[in-house]
Amino acid sequence: MLPLKENILSRIFFLFVGIFVVIAGVAAYALRTIDRSLASSDWVNHTYATIYEFENIASGLRQGDGLMRTYALTGDPRDLASCRASFALLEENMDTARALTRGDEATYQTLLRLITRVQERAALARTVWTARSANQSDKVQTLLAADAGSDTIAAIERGLEKLRDAQYEKLSERERVAYIQMQTTRWVIGLGIALNFLLLTAVGWLLRDDIAARRRITAVLTEANAQLEGKVLSRTAELRATNEQLLTENLERKWTIASQEHQLRYNQLIVNSVNDLVIVLTKALTVTRINAAVVQLTGREDETIITGALAKIVEVARDPAAGLDPLARALFEGRELRHHPVVVLGQDGRRIPGLLTLIPLRDQDNVVGGIAVVQVVHSSISKKAL
């Protein structure tokens, strides 16, 4: 398995780093959105609680005022109890509303002003039910007649409605912001996914490219290997053939030498088997080779004869008028000389008559020497010849 190329490895690493960064960014943004949503949810609950208290104040004021008037008419202690409970609950509602709006200074100040007026109504109610409990009907009638009554309550209710509407507006605004935030979150997540998809696609493309490159390299290596193997086989075959040829040539040389030596020995054997004297001469009548019969007849060793003059072992009869040695003349003229009388000179002084036949030795058309064959003759023949 080939290792990934260094540059491809670093590219894939950076792409995965990019993927991780995108995932981390999207996750961080999503967490931040969740936190915001939670905070928004708390705020919405708080706002709805505030609105609820505003409405409770309005309805409690209207209820308490009604119960106060009912008690003024009936003087029934149950109505008084209801009236007191209603105003007590109203007081609690106002305390809660104050607590809920303390973070919003403008609303808080407006609420305080309204609460002051509500408390004035509550004080009137207490004055009325105290007078009624004391059976002071005149005072009660006077108090009720002097009271603006529903106008005051209507003014307080309008003030509370304004505060409530302002809270609703804030809710609407918050919902709008939340919607935009949600949409933005969707876009961020969508873009993150798309970006990661692109990055993963890039990683896949790089890997695919690398795999394709590896396949190409593998194919090239396989082909190169096959070519190399082919060359090695071819070269091996050539070397084997050359080696076989050299072996054959070497054996041929050995064979040639052995067969020639064999042939030479055989020829030597034939020549040595001849009883006549066989002497190989140069043109200057120097002895170069002899057969065994020469050694045997003359009693001389090979080395004393070979390279020496023929005259040392053979005395050639010559015509004094002719001057030139007849053997030298025959070789010079390139002709044979047959049965020429000679005397073989033994080492012990013996003089053995014979008849010499000279055959010119030719190399192409040139006479390079001669072969002298001396046949020993009986005394009578030799005397006649000499």
Contact residue for other proteins among 102, 262, 338, 362 (CB under 8 A): 262
Question: In this structure, what are the phi and psi dihedrals at residue 76, rounded to the nearest 5 degrees?
Answer: -75, 125
244 binds other proteins (CB under 8 A): yes
Nearest to other proteins of 35, 252 (CB atom): 252
Give the residue ranges of DSSP H helices in 75-149.
Answer: 77-101, 105-133, 137-146
Kindly calculate the radius of gyration of the chain based on its CA atoms and give it in whole angstroms.
76
Q: What is the size of the binding site for other proteins (CB under 8 A)? A: 14
Q: In a 10 Å sphere around its CB, with 0-12 CB exposed, 13-18 middle and 19+ buried, how is residue 119 labelled?
A: middle
Task: Find the shortest distance in angstroms from Cβ 385 to other proteins.
Answer: 36
145's tokens: 């007649």
Question: Does the protein bind other proteins through residue 260 (CB under 8 A)?
Answer: yes
Sign of the C-alpha dihedral, residues 81, 87, 89, 95?
negative
Helix, strand, or coil here: 378?
coil
Minimum Å gap between C-beta 246 and other proteins is 11
Q: Which of residues 113-142 bind other proteins (CB under 8 A)?
A: none
Strand order of the sheet with strand 314-316?
287-290, 277-282, 366-376, 351-363, 337-345, 314-316
CB count in 10 Å sphere of residue 265:
10
CA 74 to chain CA mean position, Å: 102
Measured from the CB of residue 357, what is the shortest distance to other proteins in angstroms?
24
Distance in angstroms (rounded) separating the CA atoms of residues 174 and 44: 8
- Give the span between the Cα atoms of 167 and 103, in whole angstroms: 13
Q: How far is the CB of 279 from other proteins (least distance, A)?
A: 24
Min dist. Cβ of residue 250 to other proteins (A): 9
C-alpha dihedral over 72, 76, 81, 83, to 10 degrees? -30
- Is residue 258 near other proteins by the rule CB under 8 A? yes
Q: Of these, 251, 311, 368, 386, which contacts other proteins (CB under 8 A)? A: 251
The residues, any chain, with a CB within 8 Å of residue 208's CB and separated by 6 or more, are none
247 binds other proteins (CB under 8 A): yes
As separate numbers, helices (DSSP H) first and strands (DSSP E) second, the chain gives: 9, 6
Beta carbon nearer to other proteins, 231 or 262: 262
Q: Which residues contact 317 (CB under 8 A, 6 or more apart)?
A: 340, 341, 342, 343, 385, 386
**Least spacing, CB of residue 240 vs other proteins, in Å:** 12
Least distance CB 272 / other proteins (angstroms) = 16
Q: What is d(CA 151, CA 128) in angstroms, rounded to the nearest whole number?
A: 18
Q: Per CB under 8 A, which region of 59-67, 182-190, 219-227, 255-263 contacts other proteins?
A: 255-263
Binding to other proteins by residue 255, rule CB under 8 A? yes
Task: For strands 337-345 and 366-376, give the pairing.
Answer: unpaired
- Conformational region of residue 361, where left means phi above 0, alpha means psi within -120 to 50, and beta covers everything else: beta
In the bound state with other proteins, the residue whose beta carbon lies nearer, of 173 and 244, is 244
Considering only 248, 296, 307, 366, the residue that binds other proteins (CB under 8 A) is: 248
Q: How far is the CB of 267 from other proteins (least distance, A)?
A: 10
Q: Kindly tell me which of 212 and 251 has the beta carbon lying closer to other proteins.
A: 251
Q: Whose Cβ is closer to other proteins: residue 235's or residue 254's?
A: 254
Nearer to other proteins, 241 or 284 (CB): 241
Binding mask 275-314 toward other proteins (x if CB under 8 A, else -) reads: ----------------------------------------
Nearest distance in Å: CB 324, other proteins:
39
Q: From the list 35, 252, 302, 336, which residue makes contact with other proteins (rule: CB under 8 A)?
A: 252
Of 16-24, 139-147, 215-223, 245-253, which segment contacts other proteins by CB under 8 A? 245-253
Query: Is the Cβ of residue 269 or residue 284 nearer to other proteins in the bound state?
Result: 269
Binding of residue 273 to other proteins (CB under 8 A): no
Contacting residues toward other proteins, per CB under 8 A: 244, 247-248, 251-252, 254-256, 258-260, 262-263, 266
